[in-house]
């Protein structure tokens, strides 16, 4: 119930995920499902959302992102469309301490976050 309260109180949602077996990790999907229950009392409804994904593979997390977007449609969430941040070959983009060293990826993440803030203001869920 704590997670559901936090989601309900949030002005926007940022999901950062790896891709497992061409989809999202089971624990993420399970958390999304629990917060959407009982039917008719979903904490996700009308939340602006953004997705970032990282993977060791070359195409990043394209399939996981699209599965999340399909789920967002049913949950009546409002995702930011651009830029799509799919960090492929992630092992090459982070240093040993886990710090992002790729400048292009940093710029994409910054733009996505700026777009999420703007989207949140435009659809009226954030304080002005």
Is the CATH number 1.10.10.410 carried by domain 2-123?
A: no
Whole-number Å distance between alpha carbons of 115 and 65: 17
Distance of alpha carbon 62 from alpha carbon 19, whole angstroms: 8
pLDDT of residue 114: 98
- Whether residue 123 has a cis bond before it, omega within 30° of 0: no
Question: What would the two tokens of residue 127 be?
Answer: 């304080």
Q: What's the confidence (pLDDT) of residue 128?
A: 43
Q: How many CB atoms lie within 10 A of CB 64?
A: 25
Q: What is the pLDDT of residue 15?
A: 97
Q: What is the pLDDT of residue 126?
A: 55
The mean pLDDT values, 10 residues at a time, for the chain of 128 residues are 92 95 94 94 95 90 94 96 93 92 96 96 69
Rg (alpha carbons) of the chain, rounded to whole number: 15
């Amino acid at each position: 119930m704590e997670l559901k309260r936090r989601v309900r109180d949030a002005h926007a949602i940022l999901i950062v995920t790896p891709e497992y077996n061409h989809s999202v990790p089971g624990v993420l999907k399970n958390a999304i499902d629990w917060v959407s229950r009982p039917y008719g009392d979903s904490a996700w409804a009308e939340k602006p959302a953004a997705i970032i994904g990282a993977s060791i593979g070359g195409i990043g997390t394209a399939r996981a992102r699209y599965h999340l977007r399909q789920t967002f449609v049913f949950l009546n969430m409002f995702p930011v469309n651009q830029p799509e941040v799919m960090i492929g070959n992630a092992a090459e983009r982070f240093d040993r301490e886990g710090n992002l060293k790729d400048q292009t990826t940093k710029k994409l993440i910054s733009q996505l976050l700026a777009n999420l803030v703007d989207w949140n203001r435009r659809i009226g869920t954030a304080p002005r």
